[in-house]
A and B are shown apart, each in its own frame.
Chain A
Amino acid sequence: MSPMGMELPRLRSGARLAPWVPLLALPLALAGWELIVREARVPVYLVPAPSRILATLWAERGLYLQATGVTLGEAAAGLALGMGVSLALAIATAFWPPLERAIMPLVLLLKAIPLVAIAPILTIWFGFGPLPKVLMTALLTFYPALVPLMTGLRAVDPAALELLRAWDASEWEIFVHLRWPSARPYAFAALKTAIPLALIGAVVAEWTGASGGLGRAMWLAQTNLDMPRLFAAALILAAVSLAGYTGAALLERRARWWNPEEARL
């Protein structure tokens, strides 16, 4: 007998594209955009050319850097709050399952309220500072994090659970040795979903009234019909969101290191 796992066939879901194909797609799309805007003479107050957007971005890099810092700070704080609360609730329901029935109606109600409608209320209540943005972000990320966390803490191998019970393991031991390690990949999957939402939450809240941040910059640009500035801010948001998502996806894969088939996304 030998450690056969080393030679396990690597399963792939579908054929894989050569790595340069997606790298080529973005420049091609941008070139097409540039070409169409120039040839059709699209007015800059409708759609600016990518070159114009990048030039704006570069010219006002200090401003954008500062706005990005503000938004990122709010988004991170809100994400931490939203994930923290959902993690605490998920753990609580793992120890005491009836709690789920008690909290779910409230949670669903919170989810059903359109958060775009809440944003102005939060601003009225808490002013133009960071607090309403943090709360908004927490509200937006709370639910998408809660469900996978609750699922993960419950999705344990029933045979392993039975074994631990046969040893008369306490609920705490079951949590430490089985539930939490099983839920870890779910936690990172939740983070992956929540990161882009956190940025949306912060920006939407800034849009309804703020003294800084990317949302504020976008609102200002929009009221002035300054499309290059608006697009520049949107571009930064997209890039940050993508970077955060990719980071979380990598963490999620690492959390599943012991299962190479699952780890390959």
Chain B
Amino acid sequence: MLGIRMERVHHTFPAPSGRWVIFEDLNLEVRPGSFTVIVGPSGCGKSTLLRLAAGLLTPTAGRIRIGDLSPAQARAARRIGWMGQQPALLPWRTVEGNIRLALEVNGRALRPPLTVEELIAMVGLKGFERAYPRMLSGGMQQRVALARTLAAGPAVWLMDEPFAALDALTRAQLLEEVERLWRAFGATVLWVTHDLHEAVRLGDEVVVLAGRPARIRARIPLPDPRPRTDERRIGEWVERVRAALMGGAG
């Protein structure tokens, strides 16, 4: 299991008037095997944080480590699983072909923990192996994307609002499955969402990110046992996170 450590991370983007400071002296530590959820107002830098962790962006200054590796090394070693809001399936590949892509690309040294058939069964798509993405609903497409994310057996899952575009019912189903898969795989998860309900259902900890430059306004540990089905209890936690987001101490 690999943890994620960000030390004194500084990141800016070019802007019409000089530089746009996204992060200034950001420190974050994610325990190996934990499920950490990042919430915050839109545009505060949640996705940037995830891209920095994935090595898709290089911080202007500071240090990021995935276990003992740099993000670029972790990426090259296929230790990082990436999933975005869009399923990003290749329309000319079948369900099976899309999942297999994760093993074909930069996959020489991979020892996948599960076969593609097992993955398909795990995300509930048995019988759809040869279907093309256009034949599938949005929820089914995200299931394929989820299976593809897990195919190479990454130690760290970086998930950028993966179910934001789905309807509530499908989302609830998929969240349940993600929780189950996370426990089965023992991965470290960094999960970005703007849905507080989703955050307190899934997270071992919720990190509240806000401001410009973005700072960690609160870190709220969620000790409740899983699966968390008590809606009243979830509601209480949502209120606590909301208070932190609005400027309280959490």
Contacts and interface: CB of A to CB of B under 8 A. Distances in A.
B82 A162 contact: yes
B165 to A, nearest CB: 11
Contacts of B76: 168
A166 B54 contact: yes
A168 B140 CA distance: 26
Nearest to A261: B134
Nearest to B158: A166
A141 to B, nearest CB: 27
Nearest to A173: B105
B75 interface: yes
A247 to B, nearest CB: 22
Interface residues on A, range: 20 to 34
Interface string A1-16: 1011110100000000
B137 A1 contact: yes
Contacts of A173: 105-106
B128 A168 contact: no
Interface stretch (B2-10, B88-96, B227-235): B88-96
Contacts of B131: 3, 5
A259 B91 CA distance: 7
A177 B102 contact: no
B134 A178 contact: no
Contact of A177 (B54, B72, B104, B140): B104
B76 to A, nearest CB: 5
Contact of A163 (B88, B133, B134): B88
Interface in B48-99: 54, 56, 72, 75-76, 78, 80, 82, 84-86, 88-92
Contacts of A177: 90, 101, 104-105
A20 interface: no
A61 interface: no
A177 B88 CA distance: 13
A18 interface: no
Contacts of A181: 90, 92
A227 B104 CA distance: 62
B243 interface: no
B172 interface: no
A258 B75 contact: no
A163 B82 contact: yes
Contacts of B106: 167-170, 173
Given A162-B82, A258-B92, A169 B135 contact: no
A8 B56 CA distance: 37
B88 A4 contact: no
A166 B76 CA distance: 9
B92 A165 contact: no
B204 to A, nearest CB: 23
Contacts of B85: 159
Nearest to B140: A1
B136 interface: yes
A259 B93 CA distance: 12
Interface of B: 54, 56, 72, 75-76, 78, 80, 82, 84-86, 88-92, 101-102, 104-106, 128, 131-137, 139-140, 152, 158
